[in-house]
Amino acid sequence: MRGRDVFVAGGANSAGQAAPHLAKWAKRVTLLIRGPSLAASMSDYLIRQIGAAPNIEVCYHVQVADGTGTATGHLQSLVLQDTASQARRTVPTGPDLPAGPHARRPHGRPPLPLETSLPGVFAAGDVRQGSVKRVASAVGEGAATIPLVHRYLQTSPAAPALRAGYPPHGPAHSAASTHPTTPPAVPHERAAAPKDRAAALP
């Protein structure tokens, strides 16, 4: 997305977090809002961040009504509709969306659990389609993603540079694995019995 025009649809916190993040690389980020204001659906600190970013534009009373694509199934443009006047306009987009679930995958392999349409990029929590919007489930998905990232780095031919510098394959991991049964050193103050620690409290 570096140097591109990016559109983010939505006026809640997920969109409010995505817009400043994308603005670090995109030429311009346009936030598409169906309502008249962000205040009713977005946290104040995110509204301030969006307002302070010079390359983020907020368009109110706008929704994505349609889209057009190329013969290969990639997104080509968005059709934006004014929710008040019903007027429509078309904006071009980059060919970022795949035609199918495996269209951009090396050798057409199916995605790993929690892997997005971009190989090696995983999603957890509210950004996933059909998520239950609960902290506990997001934490669980995030924890489950770690071994999946390890598997990707071990098996993907597209990630040799990442595998070379990844901690589980580095010197620190190798040194630790030579003594798998040796417990880590525990500082003396942390080894005190619970009653000793309680007695030290004022």
Higher pLDDT, 116 or 41: 41
Of the chain, the percentage scoring pLDDT greater than 90 comes to 24
Let me know if 26 is exposed, middle or buried by CB neighbors in 10 A (0-12, 13-18, 19+).
buried
Residue 177: per-residue pLDDT: 37
CATH 3.50.50.60 residue spans of the chain:
5-92
* Chain length of the chain: 202
- Condensed to tens digits (0 to 9), the pLDDT of residues 3-17 reads 788 889 888 898 999
- Condensed to tens digits (0 to 9), the pLDDT of residues 117-170 reads 777 888 888 877 777 788 888 899 889 999 998 888 887 766 565 555 555 444
Q: Rounded to an integer, what distance in angstroms lies between the CA atom of residue 62 and that of residue 11?
A: 11
- Condensed to tens digits (0 to 9), the pLDDT of residues 66-76 reads 988 777 667 78
Q: pTM of the entire structure?
A: 0.50
Question: What class, spelled out in words, does domain 5-92 have in CATH?
Answer: alpha beta
Of the chain, the percentage scoring pLDDT greater than 70 comes to 68
Q: Rounded to an integer, what distance in angstroms lies between the CA atom of residue 154 and that of residue 6?
A: 33
- Are residues 158 and 120 in contact, defined by beta-carbon separation less than 8 angstroms? yes
Assess whether pLDDT exceeds 90 at residue 56: yes
